Amino acid sequence: MESVLETVKTAYAKQPDLKISSVNTLPDPHLPYRFWLQAPNDKSLQVLVNPYTGIVMGSRNWDETIISWTFKLHYQLLAGEIGTIIVGIVAFMLLILSITGIVLWPGWRKLISGFKIKWNAHPKRVNFDVHKVSGILAAVFLTFIAFTGFC
């Protein structure tokens, strides 16, 4: 690993403003090592290195990739720090909404019948039953998703 690290430092020696911030070694030995170089302007350069030969296979500006755009959309709504705050607030509100939905679920009194849908009943009753069953199933998953999103 030390020789690979020296190879990357040598390859980017002409750009002293780039500092190695992290290295990803993946469990599959056929995948390249990923070196993350950080520039002073918060730009990231990802360098891929062959784990067997130590040869630099290529590099890419992380901020110009589609996956970087997807991450920024997912975590920041493409709005920077304000987007991160908005995502946190919305996740917290979803967490509260999911917890109250679980607590107020009308099927707790008769648990087995709470998961039954009476398909032959009046359409309003069928709508209520479908909403009740799908709501409790979705609320369980949404609670975990909202908690991890808020954290």
pLDDT in tens, 98-111: 999 999 888 888 88
Can you give the pLDDT at residue 96? 96
The model's pTM? 0.67
**Which of 16-20, 56-60, 131-135, 141-145 has the least mean pLDDT?**
16-20
Can you give the pLDDT at residue 134? 92
pLDDT in tens, 13-24: 888 888 888 888
Can you give the pLDDT at residue 107? 82
Exposure string for 104-142, b = 16+ CB within 10 A, e = fewer: eeebeeeeeeeeeeeeeeeeeeeeebeebbebbeebeeb
